[in-house]
Every structure is written in C-alpha cells, then in structure tokens.
Structure 1
Amino acid sequence: MTGRDAVGAAADDRLARAALARVAEPGDELVGRWLGELGPGETWRAVREDRRLPGASADRWAGLRLRAERAAPERDLVAIARLGGRFVCPGDREWPRQLDDLGATRPVGLWVRGPCSLRFVALRSVALVGSRACTEYGAHVAGELGVALAERGWTVVSGAAFGVDGAAHRGSLAVGGATVGVLACGVDVSYPAGHRELLGRIAERGLLVAELAPGEHPTRSRFVLRNRVIAALTRGTVVVEAARRSGALVTARHAGRLGRHLMAVPGPVTSGLSAGAHRLIREQATLVASAAEVIELVGDMGELAGEEPGPAVPRDLLAPQAARVLDALPGAGSAGVAEVARGACTSPEAATARLCELRTLGFVERVGDRWQLCR
C-alpha cells in the first residue's frame, strides 16, 4: 500500500468510525467485536449494505439499519470542527491508550472539544465522582480535592453533573488546572442546563469528551455507560460522597475491574449519602482524606504524603527528663524535692535542676521549700 493509499484508508476508517458512533450505543460489545475482527470500514459497509453480521438478531440489526439511514459522518465531522473540536480515534496520536483496557467495549471514537491534548492530560489524571444531591460537606471536600490536585499538576476528571462533579471541576478551574468533563451526550449539548456556564469554561480551559455524536441527548443508560470511560481514562477513582445506589459506585466498580486505584472519602456515619463510600472502604477502597494521600497511591514512586502533625502544646517540646519531673508534681497541692525525685525516678539534685528550668518556662512555681504547678 502506497502512502497515498494509507492516508485514504485512514480517512475512510475515520468516516466509518464517525458513522458507527452515531449508529451504535456507547459500550456496545457486539459492535466492538465486529470492529476488532473486521475493522471499521468493513463493519460500516456491512451495516449500510444490509449484510447482517454474526451475533446480531433480526431486531437488533433492523435497529442498527434504521439509525444508519440517518447517519451522516461527514456532516458530524464538520460540526465538531466548527466547535473547535475533533474526532479522536484509536491509533491517533491523541488517543489515550489506557482506554484500550476496555476491550470490546472500548469507545468507537471520542468527540473532543477543548484546547488540551486528551492523551497528555490523561497521563496524570484522577477521577473525582460522587452524589449529585451531595451535602455541603461533600461539595466542600470535592472542591478542596480539585484545587489541591490541580495545584500539584494533576488533571481532575468527572462527569460535569450537579453536586460532587461540578464542585470538583470548579475547584480545578479556580486555580487554572486542566479538567475533563466526560459527557453522556454530545459535546455541543449543555446538560445539565444549569451547568451551561461551567461547561463553557471547561471547553475553554480543559476538555469536554463524549462518545456520542454532536447533538445527541443523554439517557439513563448512557449515564451509566459513560462511567466506564471515566474509570478507564484515569489512574484512579475517588468516591467523595455516595449513597448505596449512587451512579458513582458504577464508576468505582469499573475502576476495580480495570485494576485502577479505588479510593473513597469517609463521611458522617449518620448520613445516608456516606453509606456507599463507607461500604467501598470496607470492601476494597482505600480511605483517603487529602490530595496528598490520593497522589501517594496514583502518583510516581516517591510521591509520598507527608506526616500529618498532631496538635502541639508547650509541654510537648520539653526534654524527656523535664517532662518526667513535671508529671511527678501533683495535680493539686505541692510536693517537696525528695517526693518529686522519687516520682520522676531521678536524684534530688537533678530534680531541683529540672524544677528550676520548669519555673523559668512558666510551668511550676516555688512555695517555700516546696513546688507546685502554675495555675
């Protein structure tokens, strides 16, 4: 095959994938097997020419044929170009190869809108997911994680929904970070409508990504299927807040099956919106409470979370011998040097020296020949 022929074949495959992205539902395993065995060009020709492929029932094939009649891949490619976007296919330089872990359910292609390279920003990315009807606690935690991850050069990936998703995206954008919204509709559809402004900001400074062609609207099943892309695209998934039947748990299950790091943030045991996250922690997720702990799991070797300092009080800074002498003094009343020395298991001379030191520091006072704690 000459270079010109190869370019032509690649263009034909891109058109075929664009058409199949309009025809097949996201994650269609049967279509994925056809693509692996026959290639996109032959698969699209078979659908267009009504040559039923193995595994498809008569009803299923009829449904694909009905959709194929209205497919116009050239028009869709022009539409995405007008939005300043592109259609990214497996094998392209921008294609994130970790999506290949999805096997036959790998996206046919991805419609991408935004200035960043999808492959590049996905190299160091974390999914933050959770309840749409989150509490103030959940929104606060998601926003703080989004800020801290972005400040350390990590891409925040989420579903651009209300609640935890929106808070995570806003946190990343607030500090100029790259964030990726994986949608269950076309990248030109503002869903939810209340996030129109947020979606515009993500498209300007990050990326909007969808398996569905421009103009397509979301359905319940498409939300569920979208979650596998979020899980596969990232190094790990953090469930910030989730009830027992939250869609975020679907993303978590995909992350676990794909061998990605699975993390969850604990919440109040009295909150039903923490029940799903707590169950994950009991069964398989790692408990995390900060971006540093997330990065320790998903980052490179040596990216360790620092020791969290405990609350310090002045007596924590005392030398061990001085601390023992201080502990030997009674909580109420006073004691002589011999009594203090016996309690601290030291000599009277050493006890006297430490008591003088403690008096200078304001811990004790002398009353005649006896010593007591300062009030």
Structure 2
Amino acid sequence: MIFDAHDAAGIRLARALAPRESGVPDAERYARAVWSHLAEPGESTAGALVAALGPIAALDAAADTGGLVDEMLEEGRRRWRPRLVHEPIARSLATAARRGIRLVVPGDPHWPSAVDDLGDHAPIALWTRGDPTALVELSPGVALVGARAATSYGEHTAAELAADLCGAGIAVVSGGAYGIDGAAHRAALGVGGMTVAVMAGGVDRTYPSGNTDLVERIVASGGAVIAEVPCGAAPTKWRFLQRNRLIAALADATVVVEAGWRSGSLNTAGHAASLGRPIGAVPGPITSAASAGTHRLLREYDAVCITGTDDVLELLGEAPRARVDAEAGPRVSEDTRVLDAMSVRTSRTVDDIARRSGHAPADVEARLGLLRLSGDVEPTESGWRRRPR
C-alpha cells in the first residue's frame, strides 16, 4: 500500500502513543511519527521543512510528485520517497502501542526543550520507553560518556561520579552501551537516581543485547530510554554518531570519563561545546590508550579537568569553555550509510539499499560505483553486496 499522509488508521494508532495530558492533535503526532521513518536523525532539510510548514503540510510536500524549484527539497524527496510506504510505518506504530512505548513530540508537556537548541537538526519526535516525565527532569543533568572497552579505572570513576551526582539531585544521561555508559547508568540506579539512556536504534530492540536487563531497570526505575528512530530501526554507525548530538543537547554539561584517541565520545563533546554546553574530561595514566582521547580534550580543546564530583558541580556553574569541533571524533562519510545498509551474505537491490540508508536511489547508484572502485562492494546477479574484509 502506498503511503497516505492523512491515513485514518495511522492517526488512531498515533493517538494510543500520546503521553497523558497532551494537547497535540493526533494527526500532527502521526505526521511526526512518519517523519521519524523518512528522515535520518539530524537531517536539516527535513527539520527546516517541518519547522516552516508544520509536520502535516511538510508531509504533503514530501509526498507531492510535482516539480518544485527548491533544489534541496527535491533532493530530500528523492531520499524520502523509498520510505514513503504504509506497511513499515503501521507496523512500528502497532509495535509501539503493544509495548507501551510513547511518542513524545514538541507541544507535549514532557518534551525536553533543551533539544530545540539543535535548530534544524533537532529531533522531530522521541520514541520513549519508561516515564516520559523523566525527559523534563534532566535539568540539572550531566552526560557521562566514554569508551565501550573501558578499563576498571574508567568504570570505577564513572560509577563514582554518577552515584555522587545523583546523590546531589543531578540526573545522568548516557548511551546505554557497554563500558562507561553502563557503569554510569548502573551507579545512578544503585542510589535511586534519575537516568536516561539514548539509543541509536529502536527502543523496542535493546542494543547491545547484553544490556537488556539494564534497560529494563532504567524503565522500571522511573527513568526513560529514548530514540529518534522508530521501533524496529537498526542501530547503524551513522545513527550512533547522530545519537551523540542528542546526548549532548539533553545535558547541561558533558564529561568524557575515558576515551581512545578517536573515540565517538569526542564527537559527543564536540556537539556539547558547539551548543554552548561546558565539557569536562577525566585524566588517566599517560601510558593508557584508553585515556588518550580525554588527554586530547584537555590538551587541545581546553576541556575542564575532572578529578571528582566537586569539579563537575563547578562545571555546571561555569560559563561555557572553548568550542570543540564536532568532527574531533571519527569522521564518517555518507558512504558509511550505504555500507551500513548492505550485507556481506545477502545481495540487495539499489532500491532496498536506498530505503535502508535514507539516500535517494540515484545517490546510492553513484556511491556504489565509487565503493566498487575502492573494493568495498561488488555487484551480483541480484544486486549488490559488501565484500568481506
């Protein structure tokens, strides 16, 4: 079934996802749910269109096959059209309703206004497990982030900071991953504090799966687990990096506890500083590769040295420090989205890759040609696949 921007069944499903005491019209909530399927997190063209026209009129404009002069809109349409299909949208809405997942949108009493600082890159909607009230109880809040492959020193420090901060009435935001993230969440829960986990994939499928119990504890404790992408969406590399900007926006300050030289946590710090949020870094042994990234923040980007909870409390009360380039972390090209959408074992068509990656089919074809030259992909009788490394 081809997508209908005014689908009555979809609007009824969206109504079931509304938090209590919300005055947002059901059709607008449904339109934002659809947009979360069409656009990748942080896509500025979609954000600007929704801000200018409202989500419903913006959807009509996205689905319109008529030609417009605006080149950016037409380019956006080519990306969105492969995803303008009814079935997957209805399926994710039904999954959310069945599992008690809420769709929090601007205008809801639980919308975290801090994310609006992202401008056109702000989330269009937030799929939420747990208590949506947690999203407006994040101020004051601190993002504690760092390496997945953390050392015992890093995990101990993260846990100590999280427990002390929660004891002082400060919420902890992190990414629900292994290592520093998990240590921070667990310590916050251990002292009865508020913690929110921001996921790169749909909130109905915990990633990593080894943290399923942790996620369930966050939900049961009155915290929340949130994502910009709908139920069933995969946690790709691109979405992890876009998730970082949301972690930074939700918190009043970001502290990198432990990170390698090119850790994604540096990307989170860059987003925080670009938003005017202060950043801190915990020093480690000079012989530890796991602390090379935090030392880089201290040396090159004027991050505040964090040696204990008092330093973090002071950080929350200080003016923002020097800005950090959001590209300080790993640089991920648009080609990464195409590769994320492909499989080593299974061939996929250009249209399928376009739908999974969020690119227009013509863009996918062009990138596949370049990726073939670099040896990353190969054509098959039924489509394309990644070459094993």
Task: Give the paired residue count.
Answer: 295
Report the counterpart of residue 286 of structure 1 in structure 2: 304
Report the counterpart of residue 13 of structure 1 in structure 2: 28
Is 2:185 aligned against 1:185?
A: no
Select the residue among 310, 315, 320 that pairs with 1:297: 315
**Displacement of 1:296 after TM fit?**
2.1
Conserved? CA contact 2:135–2:224, under 8 Å: no
Judging changes above 3 Å, is the alpha-carbon distance between structure 1 residues 148 and 246 closer, same or farther for their aligned structure 2 residues?
A: same
Alignment of 1:5-154 (within 5 A): 10-51=25-66, 54-56=70-72, 60-70=76-86, 73=89, 76-154=92-170
- Write out per-residue CA displacement over residues 33-68 of structure 1, whole angstroms, 9 at most, x where no aligned residue: 111211111111122343466334766523311101
Judging changes above 3 Å, is the alpha-carbon distance between structure 1 residues 26 and 83 closer, same or farther for their aligned structure 2 residues?
A: same
Is 2:230 aligned against 1:199?
A: no
Alignment of 1:153-192 (within 5 A): 153-192=169-208
**Displacement of 1:73 after TM fit?**
5.0
Task: Tell me which of the two structures has the higher relative contact order, counting C-alpha pairs closer than 8 angstroms and 6 or more residues apart.
Answer: 2
**Displacement of 1:114 after TM fit?**
0.6
Judging changes above 3 Å, is the alpha-carbon distance between structure 1 residues 148 and 51 closer, same or farther for their aligned structure 2 residues?
A: farther
Conserved? CA contact 1:16–1:73, under 8 Å: no
Residue 71 of structure 2 aligns to a residue whose secondary structure is coil
Structure 2 residue identity aligned to 1:21? S
Which runs of 5 or more structure 1 residues have no equivalent in the other structure? 1-6, 302-375
Q: Distance in 2 between matches of 1:46 and 1:52?
A: 10
Which runs of 5 or more structure 2 residues have no equivalent in the other structure? 1-21, 320-389
Judging changes above 3 Å, is the alpha-carbon distance between structure 1 residues 8 and 161 closer, same or farther for their aligned structure 2 residues?
A: closer
**Displacement of 1:78 after TM fit?**
4.2
Report the counterpart of residue 261 of structure 2 in structure 1: 244
CA RMSD for the aligned pairs?
A: 2.1
**Displacement of 1:75 after TM fit?**
5.0
Residue 196 of structure 1 aligns to a residue whose secondary structure is helix
Judging changes above 3 Å, is the alpha-carbon distance between structure 1 residues 9 and 122 closer, same or farther for their aligned structure 2 residues?
A: closer
Q: Distance in 2 between matches of 1:14 and 1:223?
A: 25
- Which structure is larger by alpha-carbon Rg, 1 or 2? 1
Q: Distance in 1 between matches of 2:132 and 2:102?
A: 11
Residue 240 of structure 1 aligns to a residue whose secondary structure is strand
Percentage of matched positions with identical amino acids: 45
Q: Distance in 1 between matches of 2:58 and 2:195?
A: 34
TM-score by length of 1: 0.74
- Write out per-residue CA displacement over residues 178-234 of structure 1, whole angstroms, 9 at most, x where no aligned residue: 110000011111110111111111121111010010111110000000000000010
Once the two structures are overlaid, the 10-residue window that deviates more, 273-282 or 100-109, is 273-282
Is 2:231 aligned against 1:214?
A: yes
Conserved? CA contact 2:111–2:136, under 8 Å: no
Q: Distance in 1 between matches of 2:127 and 2:155?
A: 29
Structure 2 residue identity aligned to 1:114? G
Report the counterpart of residue 279 of structure 2 in structure 1: 262
Conserved? CA contact 1:30–1:55, under 8 Å: no
